Every structure is written in structure tokens, then in C-alpha cells.
Structure 1
Amino acid sequence: MKIIAITDLHGNIKPIITYLKDNKVDLIIIAGDITNFGPPKLGEDLLNEISSFGVPVLAIPGNCDPESIHVNIDQSQAINIHARNMVIKNIGICGFGGSNPTPFDTPLEFEEIQIYDEAKKAINGIENEEITLFITHAPPYGTKADLLPSGAHVGSKSLRKVIEEMQPTLNICGHIHEARGTDKIGKTTIVNPGELSHGYACLIQISDSPEDKEVETELIQL
């Protein structure tokens, strides 16, 4: 399975639209900040445009999306996986959008206890799958994916705890634009693809062999 993972669109989907015109993928994952503080209907329109290529689109909201964006994702052609899970070809996928509290009081922030409870519940539903993809907008705390230029880590401690406990195969996150990169927490690979609005993405290749479900990730420029 070939998956393209993007995050931090902030209303600019031109890079992914250009890419999809020339490249075939099996699944598109969007890890939040679909809009830049709305409006909610714009999020729905953007998701429908990305979905127009006939490829399944899974999406979660980001902290810069309006609170009501959940309704618009549900009404779009994309599939909302915020605090939900699903299985595609024996690959378990779940998500949690928004972020832990920030100094900026953005629209979609959650307290750490809520993040832990709801994200843990979502990932519990796919724990028996051989390959598990954990899609979050906020990165887990204390990794290269949540590191500011100042040296401060600002990710979610609850998401880190969930990853430490459940060890999903892969965590795709975003939120911290300056922290594009990869890291590991135990057996879990952490990937912050970087801003789609700058043309950044992550290509995920999952082997179709039942004997060897290898997962490869590559940071790419669209």
C-alpha cells in the first residue's frame, strides 16, 4: 500500500493537488490544520477537492481549525478519524486531532487528560492489528517532532504516554512547523512531515506480503 501523509495545509492544497495529478497512491492521510482558522465550510471544500481523485482520504482536525470543523469533515467525502479507528487491508488506523494547550488559545485545544483518555480508547480498538498507524496533529512530547528552535519541547505528554504504552507501528503528526523530521519512541516511528503549505509530505510504503509487513517512510518535497 502506498500512502501519502500531509499536515498543516492551512488552506493551501495546491502542492497535493499537483502531486495527485501525476502520482498514484492508495490512501491519503491528513493530520490536521486543514484551514487557517476557518471558515469551517472551507475545510469541507478542500477535503472534497482532495477526495476528487478517487483515493480514500482520512482526516483529523488541527488546533488552527474551528471547533465545528468536525461536522464539516463528516459532511465531506473524507473520513473523519478523530477519536475513531478503522481497519483497511489489515492495517489499523486511528487518530486524535487538535492539540494540547498552547500559549495562543487556538480554537481546538484539549487538556492532557482528555487527550489520553480519548486517544487511548481509539488506539485500543486496533491494538490487535499487525500494522497500526496513529495519526495525531500534536506530536508526542520530547522528540525531534516537537522541538522548537529555542530548544523547548512543546508536544503532548499524553500522546507520548499512549505511544509508550501501545507502541503503534507509526505515528504521523504535525503542528510544530519547524520540527519536520523523524524519531523513535521504543518500536514506534514518529514522523512530522512538515507543512504541506511549503510542499512537504511523507510517503509511506507498506508491503503487501502477508509474511513481511514492512513499513517504510520517506520525507518528500511535492
Structure 2
Amino acid sequence: MRLICLADTHNEHQNIPIPEGDIVIHAGDCTDGGTINETKKFLEWFSTLPHKTKILVPGNHDFYFEKPENLGNIPENIHLLVDQEIIINGIKFWGSPVTPGMENWAFNRERGKKIREHWNLIPDDTDILITHTPPYGILDEIDSGLSLGCEELTQVLPLVQPKLHLFGHVHNASGSTKQNGIKYFNLSILDERMRIMHSPVIIDF
């Protein structure tokens, strides 16, 4: 099964070549302001991709998906995961858009108990975990060296032990690594100056 994975496209999706594959996964920040028009344009584009399965996990810029009344407008061939699971060919995917913070961003949750409530929902037999935030200390450093990832997510990962953890959010930390049997991918396409600097990641799973 070939996965095509990307994140943090911020309205630049039509300028990004998308490789062929079975499943395309977007790990958040498909828009920049989360407006109706931005979201509609992205969803129209995403829904027409030829990949058999399309998975979308929103990010902190994607305000449109916070409103329950908007969720009925998602094209039927897009699987929107907001603290939800989808099973494809026996492979269990779990997606969550929450990011740590107290600012006025979409899906922000206070660090500590509030955000831990979301991570506690992740089934312990999850194969592929998709979050917008990185875990703390893994592909989450900004230029100053400060880590922006989620400490509580880092604590939950050894209990879940997904085979893959896909995320974005911290643009300058795009890349991959493997620790304690888990493969981590920061899928950010744009850098901090909103320039297209990376390509979608191809994973044969």
C-alpha cells in the first residue's frame, strides 16, 4: 500500500505535484486563514485526486472544520479525522487535529490535562497515527532551537506504539527519524517564509 503524505500547504496545494499512490494523507493546515473560500478550493482539489482513499486531519489554521455545521459539506470521498479512526485493509489510522496552546488558533488545547484527554482517546492498536502537532522533542524545533511539540503526546506514544507517526505544524523541522521502533515524519511542505521547499513523502506500508 503506497501512502502519499503531506502537511502545511497553506493554500499552495495546486502548486505541489502529488505522486501516484493508494492513499493520500494531509496532516493539517491545508488553508492559511481557514475561510470558507479557502477551504472550498482545497476540498474541491483534494476530492479530485485520483488516490482511492483520501484522509484529512485539520491543523491550527483550519478554522472551518471546528464548526459542526460545516462538516456536512465535506465531499463524501474525503475521510475527515477529528479524534477518529478509519480502518483500511486492516490497517488502523487515527487522526487528531489538536495542538498545544492558549492562543486563538483552531483546535488549540491547553498543555497538560486538557490536551492529554485527546491523546488518551488513541486506541493502543493504532498502526498509523496522524496528528497536526509533533510530539515534544521530535522534529519540532524552530530556528531558535525551541521545541514546540506536545509533551503529553510524547508520553502517550510508548503506550500506543504506532508503526508510523505523521504530523506537520513546525515547518522548519520537516524530515523523518526513527526512535524506539516508531518512524516519525514531519510532512511540512512550506518553510517558515511560506515557500514550497519539500515534496510529499512516499511511504510503502
**Distance (Å, rounded) in 2 between the aligned partners of 1:180 and 1:59:** 19
Q: 1:15 to 1:205 in 2, by over 3 A?
A: farther
1:99/1:138 contact within 8 Å kept? yes
Amino acid at match of 1:193: L
Amino acid at match of 1:133: I
Query: Shift of residue 150 of structure 1?
Result: 1.3
Out of 148, 158, 170, the residue aligned to residue 154 of structure 1 is 148
Gaps of 5+ in 2: none
Q: Does structure 1 residue 58 correspond to structure 2 residue 55?
A: yes
2:10/2:30 contact within 8 Å kept? yes
Query: Shift of residue 74 of structure 1?
Result: 5.0
Deviations 1:178-200 (A, max 9, x none): 10112234211111022256143
Q: 1:153 to 1:29 in 2, by over 3 A?
A: same
TM-score (norm 2): 0.85
**Distance (Å, rounded) in 1 between the aligned partners of 2:149 and 2:24:** 24
Count of matched residue positions in the alignment of Structure 1 and Structure 2: 195
**Distance (Å, rounded) in 2 between the aligned partners of 1:163 and 1:134:** 9
Deviations 1:154-178 (A, max 9, x none): 1001111121221100100100001
Q: Does structure 1 residue 32 correspond to structure 2 residue 28?
A: yes
User: More helix by proportion, 1 or 2?
Assistant: 1
Amino acid at match of 1:187: G
Deviations 1:7-53 (A, max 9, x none): 0011111244x43xxx4210110100111022034224312312213
Q: 1:182 is paired with a residue of what secondary structure?
A: strand
Q: Name the residue aligned to 2:9.
A: 9
2:7/2:26 contact within 8 Å kept? yes
Q: 1:182 to 1:24 in 2, by over 3 A?
A: closer
Query: Shift of residue 153 of structure 1?
Result: 1.1
Q: 1:122 is paired with a residue of what secondary structure?
A: coil
Aligned-residue sequence identity (percent) comes to 25
